[in-house]
Structure 1
């Protein structure tokens, strides 16, 4: 019995991989339709049916089948715990049940941030491979993973020359372990790594050892790993 259950689980996993693109397409549709924002604007703890959500989307959902089609997308998202779902009796006739959807812990990352971006960091334009403006601290957030090791070395060398002896370069990047892991953090970073492979020549996610090699290769004496969130890390390199 246990062997059969394991085999069924493995088969189900294989099926998910075959149809995995459907999840990303459904997520894109939900985001473009504003589903997460609609539920959020309904208030904390709001539970909405697909008909109620469709009514807020606009003229494009006047098709009588729109709520049903939307419900099928929302049901998929709920099966991945992106949305939460409950089943209640249909208040209109008291017979058929209907699904109500609410925001789950993952959903908040797809709700529009009304505060917008932060203005606490000065953004300076220019060619960072030619020169970097001087400063006590330089922030490189999601920059190095776009570039090859050779480009990163050139950039970090320019940063080295732009800071004083007591200055530092702050790097925000994901960290990949040497041995592949099955955690959600490593899975997401591995996906990002392959995205870099397909989009940016030489771009990649790196391990601790690779960041240390880049830092010392550019002339820095060491690296500190200051803060972690999921697979992302705030690092400081110094002279």
Structure 2
């Protein structure tokens, strides 16, 4: 609980810094089972401005190793003064932060969800509850679609994160889901530039693919063998002739009214024995405490904090919408990735209507489960390593009033300390100087328990 209350934001931001510094790639390039010291890694950085970079980096790597993202061993080899040094390697989960053979990686996704643009919206959750509205819009004054058009840099980051994550995600689907077998014509509704459909067609070359999206999207899409790009609006009509329609991460963008319209159009476009394959999260009816539920509920909040019409649904809600749209048979194919044991499972066979229930990669829990608003300038932790800067900025004294509000709650451990630590009595302390005592609250708790002790609270004049 103390980790949740005080330091939950540290791990994902340190992980983000390691990715931006290229730590995982540097270790990977050193060869299979390579073990590198912080100094070895820093030597590969493009800039060498900070003589203490290896010290700062080592602190970051220790944290990642404690969370089994990196491995760590201690060596005294080649150390002249006899001191030991820590050597770091890639733990199994770290492979998801390096590019696979298809260029997929979770790293861009982590960078995107912890970018300042995204993090700023979390400061407006309270306002959204009290006043209504969407946190992202409250943070930036415009909706997310408009913002992507305005901010070219973030748009590039967002696009690369989706592209890279899609590759990793679709590889798993294609490995464990066989519902594309026997399909003759597959229509990818909202298929973007066709890259996802191309991955499917590459594995199932007998399928004719139709990539269906807005004209502004498909007109700049690359050409793929076996795929036809068709421009249009799924809320108006969907190309006919397909015996399967594929929608990945589409349903969560829309409220029930819009999604029902989309599903009805799918029903009208399909052949008699056709099916719709939906890839999206299915949230639990009640908030369970397992990792799967935590991940999905956090993603739910993430999506609805960005999109004015976003909504995740329970299995029952999907079933209701499917039947209203005309579908008579609904099955859920649930799959999950067990990264630590390298196992994948499917819990049920698929039939005419398929919802792929997604349990995020265990690696993504590192990114999502402990996501919190930024602690001041911790976003620049990666800059502090090569440039010899301190992440805690000069604004320290400006935020002291907030610190003073937080510290008393942290000091609730003092009653326990008073009952378990007796040195004030044993050593017959007469005068106690509290160095860095801040607003004297801690010293006051001690003096209240030991009234014969004279207390001196010593801190900066501003405090």
TM-score grouping bracket, smaller chain normalisation:
0.7 to 0.9
User: 1:52-201 counterparts in 2 under 5 A?
Assistant: 52-59=40-47, 61-89=48-76, 91-93=78-80, 95-116=82-103, 117=167, 119-121=198-200, 122=209, 123-126=211-214, 127-134=233-240, 135-201=242-308
SS of the residue aligned with 1:188? helix
SS of the residue aligned with 2:82? coil
Once the 2 structures are TM-superposed, how far is the Cα of residue 39 of structure 1 from its aligned partner? 1.6
Once the 2 structures are TM-superposed, how far is the Cα of residue 81 of structure 1 from its aligned partner? 1.6
Give ranges in structure 1 of 5+ residues lacking alignment. 1-12
Q: 1:183 to 1:40 in 2, by over 3 A?
A: farther
SS of the residue aligned with 2:88? strand
Once the 2 structures are TM-superposed, how far is the Cα of residue 230 of structure 1 from its aligned partner? 4.5
Give ranges in structure 2 of 5+ residues lacking alignment. 104-166, 168-195, 201-208, 215-232, 339-344, 355-463
Pairs aligned (count): 226
Task: Write the deviation string for residues 18-59 of structure 1: whole angstroms up to 9, x where unpaired.
Answer: 321222211211122222222222222111111112222312
Greater alpha carbon shift after TM alignment, 224-233 vs 190-199: 224-233
Q: Answer whether contact 1:170 1:236 (CA < 8 A) is retained.
A: no
Q: 1:94 to 1:189 in 2, by over 3 A?
A: farther
Once the 2 structures are TM-superposed, how far is the Cα of residue 199 of structure 1 from its aligned partner? 0.8
Q: Determine whether 1:40 maps to 2:28.
A: yes
Once the 2 structures are TM-superposed, how far is the Cα of residue 92 of structure 1 from its aligned partner? 2.7
SS of the residue aligned with 1:182? coil
Cα separation, 2, equivalents of 1:91 and 1:76: 25
SS of the residue aligned with 1:120? helix
Once the 2 structures are TM-superposed, how far is the Cα of residue 193 of structure 1 from its aligned partner? 1.0
Once the 2 structures are TM-superposed, how far is the Cα of residue 202 of structure 1 from its aligned partner? 3.2
Q: Determine whether 1:15 maps to 2:7.
A: no
Q: Answer whether contact 2:277 2:353 (CA < 8 A) is retained.
A: no
Q: 1:32 to 1:207 in 2, by over 3 A?
A: same
Once the 2 structures are TM-superposed, how far is the Cα of residue 237 of structure 1 from its aligned partner? 4.8
Q: 1:22 to 1:223 in 2, by over 3 A?
A: same
Once the 2 structures are TM-superposed, how far is the Cα of residue 164 of structure 1 from its aligned partner? 0.6
Higher Cα radius of gyration: 2
Once the 2 structures are TM-superposed, how far is the Cα of residue 236 of structure 1 from its aligned partner? 5.7
Instruction: Report the counterpart of residue 122 of structure 2 in structure 1.
Output: none
Greater alpha carbon shift after TM alignment, 140-149 vs 225-234: 225-234
Instruction: Report the counterpart of residue 27 of structure 1 in structure 2.
Output: 15
Q: Answer whether contact 2:273 2:352 (CA < 8 A) is retained.
A: no
TM-score, structure 2 normalization: 0.45
Q: Answer whether contact 1:215 1:237 (CA < 8 A) is retained.
A: no
SS of the residue aligned with 2:17? helix
Q: Answer whether contact 1:35 1:53 (CA < 8 A) is retained.
A: yes
Q: Answer whether contact 2:245 2:275 (CA < 8 A) is retained.
A: yes
